[in-house]
Amino acid sequence: MRSRSRTRITRTRWVRNACVGGGPCSPAPFELAALAPLPCCRRYIYSTQGTVQYVRPQAAAHTFFVHHRALLVERGCSVARKASTLNKGYWPFLVPGLILFIFIIILPLLMNIGISFTNWNGIRNPKFIGFENYIRLFQDKAFWASFRNNLAMIVAMTIVPTIVGLFLATFLFDYIARVFKRGKGITSFFRAGFYLPQILPVAIAGVVWGWILQPGTGVLNWLLDGLAKATNTTSLAHNWLGDASTALGTVMVIMIWFQIGYPLVIFMAGLQRVDPELLEAASIDGATWLQRFYYITIRIIQPEIFVVVLTTVIAALKVFGPIFVLTRGGPGNATLVPSYFAYQNFFGGTNRVGYGASIATIMTIIIVILTIVFIKMQSKENI
């Protein structure tokens, strides 16, 4: 039996010299109507003079862009298409992955959910206790503290790196690469440099940061003391990771260092898709760098931004390694995060495996919900 699949058709093309409101136009206005719209087509035009414009599918000479060309993107609705014969018989290839997925993801996930309803010391005979773990969890100050710290991790691993990564990527791609004679080389060097922390094993990087920040003999305090001596000012040397008021901020700074490279590389790849002519056209029309960045660049690499935000938010919610290596959740509970809190219960000698499982279950639910929301948002976006 032939299977049928539904596919959304997207096409992009350049349109030139559309004129505003059908006024006198030279050369002739571009007729959108002549473009034979796709079924339930939505059309957008990237211009340099405003946000992306939505164009009604049947609009005739809707114009808004002078002198040069603009990018027209049309997205049709999903339509049933006959399955290509090429797609026949791909199921067997999915079986190994599916088996691994069931045994490594699904089954342990279900077991974890099951364990979360028990009182179990990890050895024998879990005792079913219903929702007791969850009730206790919601009354647990440490649990809430860990979620508060998680929000800080989202700031440090998603919000700041995404924003900074966007500017850095654009700056390297759009400015350094063009302005300098050896711009491409410089760009590659910086891209690699920023990406390096992503390649380093987190344990090693964490230990090294621990040394740098060591209160008594660390390099950072040594530098700050030296600076203070040289300038006759009070030293800013501090017990960075050991003081509850600065530990979380310090970990956040380290996490920003860790994360910057990831959005940077993704965005720089995305920027390859931005047609230079488009930016050039905008320049000719008098758009500033910031306007080009805001109206063109960001919009074209929106899919990349979505991917980066989604993956880094999930990473921030799951963050474990850096906390484990740097502070173990301390001092007090100042840097405790849910994954480390769950770990403490699983392996910290508390023998409260059921409790640890309930923390892991809550984290999973939150992550799944966030992922669904993001993917829905992304699929609504027509870019």
Partner 1 sequence: MAFSIAACGGGAATQPTAVAPQPTTAAAAEPTAATAAEPTTAAAEPTAAATTGEGRVLRLWHYESPQGAMGAAWAEAIKQFEASHPGVKVEFEQKGFEQIRQTANMVLNSDQAPDVMEYNKGNATAGLLASQGLLTDMTDEATKRGWDKILSPSLQTTSLYDDKGVMGSGKWYGVTNYGEYVMVYYNKAMFEKYGVTVPTTFDEFEAAMDTFVKAGVTPLAVGGAEYPAQQIFYTLALSKANRDFVNAYELYQGDVDFKGPEFTYGAERLVDWVQKGYISKDATGMKAEDMGVAFENGTYPMMISGSWWYGRFMTEIKGFEWGTFLFPGNKLHPGSGGNLWVIPENSKNKDLAYDFIEITLKQDIQTILGNAGGVPINADVSKITDPKVKELIQNFDTVVKSDGLAFYPDWPVPGYYDTLVAGVQELLSGAKAPAEVLDEIAIPYKDNKDAMGS
27: left (phi over 0), alpha (psi -120 to 50) or beta: beta
Cβ atoms of 13 and 72 closer than 8 Å: yes
Total number of residues that touch partner 1 (CB under 8 A) = 31
Which of residues 157, 213, 251, 279 is near partner 1 by CB under 8 A?
Answer: 213
Task: Give the residue with the Cβ less far from partner 1, 140 or 285.
Answer: 140
Joined tokens for residue 341: 């809190």
Joined tokens for residue 117: 């309803």
Q: Does 217 bind partner 1 (CB under 8 A)?
A: yes
Site for partner 1 in 119-158 (CB under 8 A): 121-124
Which of residues 156, 241, 278, 319 is near partner 1 by CB under 8 A?
Answer: 241
Look at the alpha carbons of 128, 131, 135, 138 in this order and tell me if their dihedral is positive or negative.
positive
Residues 6+ apart with CB under 8 A from 28: 17
CB of residue 367 to partner 1, shortest distance in Å:
24
Give buried/exposed letters for 220-232 (b at 16+ CB in 10 A, else e).
bbeebeeeeeeee
Joined tokens for residue 334: 């100042």
Joined tokens for residue 297: 């660049």
Residue 78 phi, psi (nearest 5): -70, 135
Taking CB under 8 A as the binding criterion, the range among 82-90, 153-161, 212-220, 311-319 that sits at the site for partner 1 is 212-220
Binding mask 316-355 vs partner 1 (x if CB under 8 A, - otherwise)?
-----------xxxxxxx----------xx-xxxxxx---
Binding mask 286-315 vs partner 1 (x if CB under 8 A, - otherwise)?
------------------------------
Task: Give the residue with the Cβ less far from partner 1, 206 or 261.
Answer: 206
Helix axis angle for 261-271 and 244-259, nearest 10°, is 30
Q: Does 216 bind partner 1 (CB under 8 A)?
A: yes
Instruction: Return the ∠ at Cα 138 (arms to 134 and 142), rounded to 5°.
Output: 115
Q: Does 360 bind partner 1 (CB under 8 A)?
A: no
Q: Does 232 bind partner 1 (CB under 8 A)?
A: no
CB of residue 243 to partner 1, shortest distance in Å:
6
CB of residue 352 to partner 1, shortest distance in Å:
7
Residues contributing to the site for partner 1 (CB under 8 A): 121-124, 210, 213-217, 239-244, 327-333, 344-345, 347-352
